[in-house]
Amino acid sequence: MPINQPTIADNGIVRPTHVEIDLDRLTDNYQAIQKVVAPATVMPILKANAYGHGLVAVARHFATLGVPYLGVAFLEEGILLREFGITTPILVLGGILGNQVPLFLDYDLTLTASSVEKLTQTNDAARTMGRTAKVHLKIDTGMERIGVHYYSAAELLETALACDYCQVEAIFSHFANSDAADLTSARTQLARFNEVLDFYRRRGLPAPRRHMANSGAILQMPESHLDMVRAGILLYGVYPSDEVQRTIPVRPALSWKSQVVYFKVVQPGHPVSYGSTWQSDHMVRVVTVPVGYGDGYFRSLSNHSEVIIRGKRYPVIGRVCMDQMMVNIEWESAYNGDEVILLGEAGNATGEKVTITCGELARWAGTIPYEILTNINTRVPRIYLGGDE
């Protein structure tokens, strides 16, 4: 089944614009989260190319750590991991179509049963194939995305008890506002989920494994950790919002780098880039960097963002192009081949760290950190440091 595979750099010459992923930081973040949520376990979420970090390599790394489960968004992501030899249990979190069920069984993937109809289709397909389908039941407690509504969930749970060809491993829901300062909505959702779970208590039955906490709830709602948590952006060292309490120390695993490929002097009154949106009233030195919105460096960052060169921050000027952008270094020095930090940190002349965070890029672009990471194009090579890579 076709899917865009991540570009992984080898040991030869790679494109100047690339991403570096520190696998040891991923380990540290995972262990920090696990320590806080224990005895609950941690499911790393790997959707959207592992939040831009590289689906296959990151999955392999977490598999070596012995994680109990991996989470992806789509069937195709799960199939790709299986084809690359990942044997860890994998939950596909997204909605499914009935004709996809045989592929879940063929590739030993766990599906999300989000309605009575889909659960029945799954049971019928498994019976036909002489197999047992692994499912997690999805309850909608207020997201209004997929899942049976909490107030009508009993029918799904009753149906699941009668599905002889389905192994119900877990039941779960998803928070809409767990990364907000005001947790009223999130607490209401958790209360609704607990009401649904009373179904099992009333019948004297053990509940399946329960999971609801995403990154915001991991940080702010220990009462929601239950049996397992789903660690997404927090696992990669980025906090989900500016409002969230930073109760677990994590560090970014991803750095985005490029190099200076051209240097010029620009005369006063000479506009830079498409649309002539920037010009100087004095002579300046401008360098060109081979990265653009075709790589995921948003066009909305034009005239708003900064990069780090030689330990100092400089502004991006003019419109970001598809493959290149320009940086104003005023009358300071930079040379072809100098490293340019788009996202990450570098030391300056006094030994201090100069950093551009994912949150800063998101604010400059008018978006959220999730979009910054997941939009780094797969044409940008990934280089892995540490771990076993």
Catalytic (active site) residue 312: no
Q: 35, 47, 134, 257: which is the annotated catalytic residue?
A: 47
| SS3 labels along the chain | CCCCCCCECCCCCCCCCEEEEEHHHHHHHHHHHHHHHCCCEEEEECHHHHHCCCHHHHHHHHHHCCCCCEEECCHHHHHHHHHCCCCCCEEECCCCCHHHHHHHHHCCCEEEECCHHHHHHHHHHHHHHCCCEEEEEEEECCCCCCCEEHHHCHHHHHHHHHCCCEEEEEEECCCCCCCCCCCHHHHHHHHHHHHHHHHHHHCCCCCCEEECCCHHHHHHCHHHCCCEEEECHHHHCCCCCCCCCCCCCCCCCEEEEEECCEEEEECCCCCECHHHCECCCCCEEEEEECCCHHHCCCHHHCCCCEEEECCEEEEEECCCCCCCEEEECCCCCCCCCCEEEEEEEEECCCCCEEEECHHHHHHHHCCCHHHHHHCCCCCCCEEEECCCC
Residue from 151, 262, 274, 335 carrying the catalytic annotation: 274
370 given a catalytic annotation: no
Catalytic positions are 47, 274
